[in-house]
Amino acid sequence: MTTSNSAPAGDLTSQVLHKLSTQSPILSSEAFPAATFQDVKAALDRLGSRSMVTYETMEREEALLEPEAEQIAAHGSHEARVFEAVREAMEGLTIQELEQAIGDKTVTKLGQGKAFKEKWISKGKDGKLVATVRLIFLWGGDLICRAEPELTPYVSLLQADSIKDSTRAVLLQVKETKTGDAKALADLKKRKLIKLQKVVTFKIDKGPKFALEIEKEETDLTSDMLSSGSWKTAKFKPYNFRALGSDQNAGALHPLNKVRHEFRQIFFEMGFEEMPTNKFVETGFWNFDALFVPQQHPARDLQDTFYISDPKVADKPRPLVEGQNPEEYWNNVKEVHQDGKFGSIGYKYPWSADESLKLVLRTHTTSISTAMLYKLASQKGPDGRPPPARYFSIDRVFRNETVDATHLAEFHQVEGVIADYGLTLGGLMEFMEVFFGKMGITDLKFKPAYNPYTEPSMEIFSYHKGLGKLVEIGNSGMFRPEMLESMGLPKDMRVFGWGLSLERPTMIKYKISNIRELLGHKVDLGFIERNPAVRLEKE
């Protein structure tokens, strides 16, 4: 069945109606044997939506002969053909003569073996192949015994028993009916003589609005119809609420955005406020100095940080809220680095204001957290002191990295900061368990680490079942007193912070092994359009 020899759908609809007017129900396989499934279905859907016909779908299996089986059906089984050829030659046949008579080497070879097995042929005295003739003794019409001729020299030949080619008989029947006894079909299938194919047939009947012609139905109400009044009598096509809408070709969310959305939900759920991160350029002051990162620290090298060449320097920090005196903060930072202050012995080096005013692409979002904490220092809660706060941000950071499968020069950081009185390291570890637990990351391991701005510092690890190993998921710590007191936060206020990349959990979630497939110019737009939504707590 191909589309080319079937009637077009338009014709088929009226063919269906005409057939039904003389006979109902009808079976599509009998009435339209040449039409394809798609054409019949399209015609029936068209008529069905107008209630002109009703139909049921029936599925059945058809047995179809394989080419070899077609041959057997036409000419007999190999063994039968061998038997017939040998029997016809009264004097017997040599193998070459048999081959010639059959005209097919494989048929001869296979058939000969089977015919021997069935004892239909044997080797005569001169070595030629002869048909085994059986004799049947009849007595008054009743069969009384059978015998091989050489054993019964006294009897006369009454009837030559011919062989029964049962394979051919079964195949002929299957060919005609396309079905057969289940055991026989299974056997034929095993011998690769037939294949079973699913066929869908429709049982079609007249519907409540059956007619021979399809009435034209209006699809739109036009202004002409309104002015002429023809809308009153017009027949309108009912809405098809099951039809698929046309493709809207809308934009798609990038996987990073989907994972970001999940992180934001978790932060909001835990009472965090989102920090404004809408600036990529920072001064060395906010990115490094305020965080107690010494000016000789390798992270501040050109190899690690991108510096802005125009303009080269920034102004000194301005008040972030009214009434602040950034000059005091600036001087505190300078003293902490140079000579030590607030109980810190400092780094003991000549601190350079120029270095602090250099402009950089921020290397972490902790620069934003620092500015937020500086703002917090001048806020007053009910007791006149800075109130507890929870801040988070998810945004882009820049590092002068050599780009490879797991590193990019720009990526996204997820960062959280909690400021409160009486925070403890144990409380912080507990908080981490809860926070990561919300995205399905459990059994955390903490490893002592070093950050210039936190003490103690801990790297956070978790066992990843999919990867079968411990993976680092983040970095964390308690901000140092010399950093917090410099900005004017009370001595007993503790601030805990942590950060992780947005890319790593996204890559794990979407099973991406090369970060360049996720971010940058090599990203495949098809991947963005097709990737599924994500739920962090699952899996």
Q: Which residues bind ligand PHE (CB under 6 A)?
A: 364, 366, 415, 451, 454, 475-477, 497-499
- For the bound state, the minimum distance from the C-beta of residue 295 to ligand PHE, rounded and expressed in Å, comes to 18
* 179/168 Cα distance (integer angstroms): 15
Which of helix, strand or coil describes residue 419?
strand
**Residue number with CB closer to ligand PHE (76 or 499):** 499
CB of 45 to ligand PHE, least distance (A): 60
Identify which of residues 112 and 454 has a Cβ nearer to ligand PHE in the complex. Answer: 454
Q: For residues 121 and 98, what is the distance between their CA atoms, to the nearest angstrom? A: 12
CA distance 420 to 426: 14
Place of tokens 């079609």: 204
Residue (of 203, 215, 204, 217) closest to 21 by Cα position: 204
Nearer to ligand PHE by Cβ, of 202 and 435: the residue is 435
Q: Residue with structure tokens 């294949």? A: 195
Q: Which is nearer to ligand PHE, 111 or 499 (CB)?
A: 499
- Closest to ligand PHE by CB, 41 or 399: 399
Nearer Cβ to ligand PHE (415/485): 415
Q: What DSSP designation does 295 have?
A: T
Pairing of strands 454-464, 26-27: unpaired
Q: Could you tell me which residues come within 8 angstroms of residue 269 by beta carbon, excluding any fewer than 6 positions away?
A: 438
Q: Strand pairing partners for 421?
A: 493
To the nearest whole angstrom, how small is the minimum distance from the Cβ of residue 245 to ligand PHE? 46
As measured in angstroms, the least distance from the Cβ of 503 to ligand PHE is 13
State the minimum distance, in angstroms, from the CB of residue 539 to ligand PHE: 25
CB of 313 to ligand PHE, least distance (A): 24
Whole-number Å distance between alpha carbons of 18 and 35: 16
**Cβ closest to ligand PHE, residue 334 vs residue 364:** 364
DSSP assignment letter at 306: P
Q: Which residue type does 262 have? A: E
Give the shortest CB-425-to-ligand PHE separation in angstroms: 13
Minimum Å gap between C-beta 525 and ligand PHE is 30
What count of Cα atoms within 13 Å lies in the side-chain half-sphere of residue 506?
29
Residue type, 452: P
Dihedral of CA 400/402/403/405: which sign?
A: negative
What does residue 389 show for φ and ψ, rounded to 5 degrees? -145, 155
CB of 417 to ligand PHE, least distance (A): 7
- The residue (of 62 and 459) whose beta carbon lies closer to ligand PHE is 459
Residue carrying the six token digits 């904490």: 373
Of residues 128 and 264, the one with the C-beta less far from ligand PHE = 264
Ramachandran angles phi, psi of 464, nearest 5°: -100, 115
CB of 367 vs ligand PHE, minimal distance in Å: 9
Q: Token pair for residue 209?
A: 């609005």
The residue among 36 and 305 lying less far from ligand PHE, judged by its C-beta, is 305
3-state DSSP percent of the chain in helix, strand and coil, to 5: 35, 25, 40
Handedness of CA 96, 98, 99, 100 (dihedral sign): positive
